[in-house]
Copies of this chain bind each other. A is one copy, B any other.
């Protein structure tokens, strides 16, 4: 998984902690010492997924479009990664000697199906957690919000 997912998750939490934005991508990048151009790409991906919106103008930037209760980990992973398949089936069952000798195959490959079942549990667990759950954990240290506000104001 690309580091963009880590960047996006922290940036969304930071945006929430300062009231939702808008904040410029440069400032959001500086908050964690990230590459502004790469973070900007991740923010564009989040905007395409409807998680943030781009606000034009000198006081513009990116702002959250919804509360953290409505943003799941899966939403962010899908927005950044696009393809969230971990196991890539290249259908080797149809290649080589075995492929030549096999009758035309119907139905999904049993290996692929088993790996997909496991991935579905991962997706389910990503979809079951929202960013508000992480915020609740962060809020146990009141300093966190204070630090984020100082860094982004």
A residues engaging B (CB < 8 A)? 1, 3, 5-7, 9-10, 13-14, 29-34, 73, 86-90, 92-93, 95-99, 101-103, 110-111, 113-115, 117-122, 124-126, 129, 133-134, 137-138, 143-144, 147-148, 150-151
- Tell me if A's interface is mostly helix, strand, loop or mixed: helix
- Chain B residues near A86 (CB-CB < 8 A): 1, 86, 122
Are the CB atoms of A87 and B6 closer together than 8 Å?
Answer: yes
Are the CB atoms of A88 and B118 closer together than 8 Å?
Answer: no
CB distance from A125 to the nearest CB of B (A): 4
Are the CB atoms of B114 and A134 closer together than 8 Å?
Answer: yes
Pick the contact of A3 from B10, B88, B98, B133 — CB < 8 Å?
B88
Q: A87-B1, A101-B150, A111-B9 are in contact. Are A92 and B33 (CB under 8 A)?
A: yes
5 A-B pairs whose Cβ atoms sit less than 8 Å apart in the complex: A10-B92, A32-B95, A101-B150, A102-B147, A114-B137
CB distance from A101 to the nearest CB of B (A): 5
State in angstroms the CA–CA spacing of A90 and B114 once bound together.
Answer: 31
- Chain B residues near A133 (CB-CB < 8 A): 114
